[in-house]
Amino acid sequence: MINTNQFLRYITQSVDNKVSDLYILPNNSGYRVMYNLQIRLTTVAQLTTQEGQQLITYLKYRANMAVSEHRRPQVGAILWQVDEQTINLRLSTVGDFKGLESLVIRFIYPLEQLQNQQLVPSQWSQLENMIEQRGLILFSGPMGSGKTTTMYQLAKKCCQAQIVMTIEDPVEIQEPNFIQLQVNERAQMGYDHLLKVGLRHRPDVFIIGEIRDEKTATLAVKAALSGHLVMATVHAQNTFGVLNRMLQLGVNKSYLEQVLQGICYQRLLPTTNDNLAVLYDLLNTTRLQPAFEQPCNETMTNEWRQQLEQCSSENKITQTTAQKYRWG
């Protein structure tokens, strides 16, 4: 039988360490239980196949998922009480070709419990200056690099007397002072539809979890043109790639040039004290203008490389880290 007390310890340890994800995955020996802590995967337990399957069944039951379905993808949610905290757990399961399920749990924390440590603290003031103007601010970086946390912290700190609406898939951070909408494609509530609805609610600030298609990109620009502050993420390999990506999505170049107030590309870098800290590569309107006027072959700004070298010389990061992240 499954040892639920043991699993409760996994959950408690995850919350205490601010783990982002907990994995229960099949392997040759049964099932592995792993944490994703600060973009590092750590194995915390090895279970037998029977124990792993029982644990997944137990969690699916708690999340109101179909316990008899082992192949098709399923999603569910659990409100889990840890000490005096209520943590929102998002579950996702899928079966492999052998019929063995894997399960991933995403931990949704309140904003007050999250904090991005800045490698260069003065960069935060530059970000705050960016959002003083209405318009579009685009954020990019790999998954798990803290983009959503950055946007939420900016909105929380700088827009306290304003209405903030978020549109995400799924909602990743709990913030009771924001209107938080979640994408549900089955209910025809995609990013584009929710953004149209959101415009009728007349918020001051939009946070868009991801611009992934032409409709959403066009509506984000339209919202910025109509006087809103719009913060959104877009997938790109580097800083200057963000602008190219928006143009590839079919956004009108002249409109984008009018509303784009800044680009923020960020990475979480390992520090010499075994933590992670975020480094930003920032483009404001002054730096963006030349990029609009002529194609740019650069990937990152010179300031990005200079900051890496400076942090290395100050022993905040190693020289190896500085070289590894030189191109983004």
Which of 11-15, 259-263, 286-290 has the largest mean confidence? 259-263
- Do residue 275 and residue 129 come from a single domain? yes
**Digit-coded pLDDT (tens) for 237-256:** 999 999 999 999 999 999 99
Q: Are residues 63 and 196 in the same domain?
A: no
Find out whether 207 and 231 touch, Cβ atoms under 8 Å: yes
Task: Check which CATH number belongs to the domain holding 187 and give it.
Answer: 3.40.50.300
Domain hosting 245: range is 114-324
Mean pLDDT within 87-100? 91
**Which residue, 82, 109, 136, sits at the end of a domain?**
109
- Which of 77, 92, 109 represents a domain boundary (last residue)? 109
**Which pLDDT band, with edges at 50, 70 and 90, does 19 fall under?**
confident
Provide, rounded to the nearest whole percent, the portion of the chain with pLDDT above 70: 98
Residues 22 and 166 in one domain: no
**pLDDT tens digits along 155-197:** 998 777 899 999 998 888 889 999 999 998 888 898 889 988 9
For the chain, what is the mean pLDDT?
91
Give the pLDDT of residue 241: 94
Q: Are residues 161 and 194 in the same domain?
A: yes
pTM over 0.75: yes
Burial 128-166 (b: 16+ CB within 10 A, else e): eebbeebbbbbbbbeeebbbbbbbbbbbbebbeeeebbb
Cβ of 126: how many Cβ atoms within 10 Å? Answer: 14
Q: What share of the chain is helix, strand, coil (3-state, %, to 5)?
A: 35, 30, 30
Predicted local confidence at residue 38, as pLDDT? 66
Question: Number of folded domains in the chain?
Answer: 2
Q: For 41-82, how does the pLDDT look when each residue is reduced to its tens digit (9 = 90+)?
A: 889 999 999 999 999 999 999 999 999 999 999 999 888 887
Please tell me the least confidently modeled range out of 10-14, 223-227, 281-285: 10-14
Residues 51 and 160 occupy one common structural domain? no
Residues 133 and 158 placed together within one structural domain of the fold: yes
Judged against a pLDDT cut of 80, whether residue 261 lies above it is answered with yes
- Mean pLDDT to the nearest integer, 126-146: 93
* Antiparallel, parallel or unpaired: β 74-82 and 179-182: unpaired
Give the angle subtended at the CA of 76 by the CAs of 74 and 81, to the nearest 5°: 150
* CA end-to-end distance (rounded Å), the chain: 48
Domain boundary among 79, 109, 139: 109
Only one residue has tokens 């909602």, namely 171
CATH number of the domain bearing residue 49: 3.30.450.90
Regarding whether 153 and 42 lie in a shared domain, the answer is: no
pLDDT digits 0-9 by tens, 303-327: 999 999 999 999 999 999 999 999 9
Q: Which two tokens stand for residue 300?
A: 């990152």
Judgement on whether residues 124 and 57 belong to the same structural domain of the protein: no
Co-location of 240 and 282 in the same domain: yes
**Same-domain pairing of 75 and 219:** no
Q: Using the predicted structure, report yes or no on whether residue 39 has a pLDDT greater than 70.
A: no
Q: Tell me what pLDDT residue 284 has.
A: 92
Are 157 and 81 members of one domain? no
Residues 118 and 86 in one domain: no
Most confident of 82-86, 113-117, 263-267: 263-267
Residue 37 has pLDDT above 90, yes or no: no
